[in-house]
Amino acid sequence: MKILTVTGYKGGVGKSTTAIHLATYFSDKGKTVLVDGDPNRTSIAWAERGNLPFTVADERQAMKMIGDGEYIVIDTPARPHTDDLKELAKGCDLLILPTAPDVLSLEPMLETARDLGDAKYRALLTIVPPMPSREGELMQKDLIEGGVPVFKTMIRRTVGFPKAALAGVPIRDVTDHRLKDAWQDYVALGNEIMEML
């Protein structure tokens, strides 16, 4: 069993969107369960609006629902305290920290990284504005220079993600060929993670 936990100190940075799309990716590889650990129940609501290719379990029922799951993706609320992040890291194979590319997020992320020390984690740039903006690339570079391990893959900003959330499906299953590339971002991320597990 492999456990991936999606977390971070801030809300609205694409944690739930990342959890849903990684669970979609892993559901093609083996039995996957997404555990919704956020009291807002964003992931459960997503599942209830439509149709997802994996089970979404309330954290309070997770023990029973996980069963023989091969891949477990845990969605969490924002965790402002690094002590919480450290404890979360001990309970999974990889901690994934989504962050949007804005200057205000840089310093807190560097601080988080310092506190996490040698825990197994990676930062993920999400909601990255399209070219000609270079915000994503620049933030990635700043994080690397600050010693933060960062995924090579960045997740682009597109209205397709809120659309998919509204329809209760992964972006892969939204019938709009223009959204193919956005799904490929999560495929590339999944591939990167597979190599690490």
Ligand X SMILES: Nc1ncnc2c1ncn2[C@@H]1O[C@H](COP(=O)(O)OP(=O)(O)O)[C@@H](O)[C@H]1O
Q: In the complex, which residues of this chain contact ligand X (CB under 6 A)? A: 11-17, 42, 126-127, 155, 157-158, 161-162, 165
Tokens of 6: 């999606």
From the CB of 154, what's the least distance to ligand X, in Å? 9
In the list ligand X, Mg ion, none, the entry touching 149 (Cβ below 5 to 8 angstroms by class) is none
User: Closest approach of Cβ 119 to Mg ion, in Å?
Assistant: 21
Minimum CB separation of residue 24 from Mg ion in Å reads: 16
Question: Which option in Mg ion, ligand X, none does residue 155 bind, with CB closer than 5 to 8 A by kind?
Answer: ligand X
Residue 2 binding: pick among Mg ion, ligand X, none (C-beta 5-8 Å cut-off by kind)? none
Interface stretch with Mg ion, choices 23-31, 39-47, 86-94, 120-128 (CB under 5 A): 39-47
Nearer to ligand X by C-beta: 31 or 62? 62
User: What type of residue sits at position 180?
Assistant: K
Measured in whole angstroms, the distance separating CA 93 from the mean position of its chain's CA atoms is 14
Q: Does 42 bind Mg ion (CB under 5 A)?
A: yes
Q: Select from 15, 79, 157, 172 the one that contacts Mg ion (CB under 5 A).
A: 15
Q: How many CB atoms lie within 10 A of CB 111?
A: 13
Which of the stretches 10-18, 85-93, 124-132, 138-146 binds Mg ion when contact is defined by CB under 5 A?
A: 10-18
Which residues 6+ apart lie within 8 Å of 35 measured at CB? 56, 57, 59, 62, 65, 66, 72, 73, 74, 75
Q: Is the dihedral of CA 173, 194, 98, 2 positive or negative?
A: positive
Q: Would you tell me which residues interact with Mg ion (CB under 5 A)?
A: 15-16, 42
